[in-house]
Amino acid sequence: MTVVFGGTFDPVHIGHLHAASVAADILDTSILMVLSARPAHRKAPVASVEDRWCMLRAACANIERLIPSDVELRRKGPSYAIETLVSLNASHDEPVIWVLGADAFDLVHTWYRFDEFVNRCSFLVFARGGNASERLPRGFKKADEYDVLERSSGSVYFGNQAMMAISATALRLDISQGCAPDELLPPSVWEYVRQRGLYLT
Ligand code: ATP
């Protein structure tokens, strides 16, 4: 079973690590933390891809089940999730389980070549603040148990575990205003941000 938690990680924060760790516990497997190097579906990241990759590696260094993945970094051009699914050999019978927050899931139908996802992946979705809409993209079915996710592609399981109310956008704002949100970042990431002077403007 291959499980992916993707993100721009600008910067990676403990909300991401918590969500990925919950997914690792639920599914009892390790998680590929895939850096969206050049995201196509959102504003360009603030930190460089090299800085975001260093922070992601530092954040995962002591967490055995979270494996940083540079699969999208090594490709040229925009980071399309469908190309990641293809490179991971995702198929109907051996789908990749893609873990994301409800905010990202709400926009998933706009992702490049989304029609192909139904034959290659299932989704594990966590609510982020308030209730998630649980709206299903075309072709996907709601799963009542998370073990359905790995049996075949095209399923969505909505996890009810509590997530942390942290966003990278708010963190960047805090840092630019001189606040030190050190408890919201892994210590090694906060150290990196300070040393490199990231997010000051
Ligand atoms: P930004 O505020 O810049 O959009 P972000 O904090 O949402 O950043 P991303 O890298 O865009 O982080 O998100 C990667 C994935 O992590 C998405 O699926 C998103 O929903 C999820 N995610 C982000 N923060 C949390 C959180 N606190 N709890 C659970 N999931 C989260």
User: Domains along the chain?
Assistant: 2-166 (3.40.50.620)
pLDDT at 130: 67
How much helix, strand and coil, in percent to the nearest 5, is found in the chain?
35, 20, 45
Measure the CA–CA gap between 91 and 79, rounded to whole angstroms.
20
Q: How far is the CA of 129 from the centre of ligand 1 (A)?
A: 12
Tell me the residue type at 48.
S
Instruction: Supply the pLDDT for residue 43.
Output: 84
161 closest CA partner among 34, 41, 42, 18: 18
The one-letter amino acid code at 173 reads L
Per-residue pLDDT of the chain in tens (201 residues, 90 and over written 9):
999 999 999 999 999 999 999 999 999 999 999 999 999 877 889 999 999 999 999 999 999 999 999 999 999 999 999 999 999 999 999 999 999 999 999 999 999 999 999 999 999 999 987 666 788 999 999 999 999 999 999 999 999 999 999 999 999 999 999 988 889 999 999 999 999 999 998
Does the Cβ of 51 fall within 6 Å of ligand 1? no
pLDDT score of 132 = 63
176 C-beta closer than 6 A to ligand 1: no
pLDDT confidence of residue 40: 85
Q: Does ligand 1 lie within 6 Å of residue 10's CB atom? A: yes
100 lines ligand 1 (CB under 6 A): yes
| From 5, 16, 125, mutation site for ligand 1 pocket: most ligand atoms within 8 A of C-beta | 16
pTM: 0.96
At 119, is the secondary structure helix, strand, or coil? helix
- What's the token pair of residue 125? 């979705």
Query: What pLDDT, on the 0 to 100 scale, is given for residue 135?
Result: 87
E strands, the chain, are: 2-7, 31-35, 66-69, 96-101, 121-126, 141-142, 155-159
Q: Which residues, at least 6 apart from 80, have a Cβ–Cβ distance to it below 8 Å?
A: 40, 111, 112, 113
- Identify whether the C-beta of residue 157 lies closer than 8 Å to the C-beta of residue 134: no
The reported pLDDT for the residue numbered 69 is 97
Residues near 115 by Cβ (< 8 Å), separated by ≥ 6? Answer: 138, 139
> Does residue 12's CB lie within 6 angstroms of at least one atom of ligand 1?
no
User: Can you tell me the distance from the alpha carbon of 138 to that of 144, in angstroms, rounded to the nearest whole number?
Assistant: 18
Q: Is the CB of 34 under 6 A from ligand 1?
A: no
> What long-range pairs does 127-134 form, CB within 8 A, spacing at least 24?
127/101, 127/102, 127/158, 127/159, 127/160, 127/163, 128/101, 128/102, 128/103, 128/163, 128/165, 129/163, 129/165, 132/102, 132/105, 132/106, 132/158, 133/102, 133/106, 134/158
At 201 the pLDDT is 83
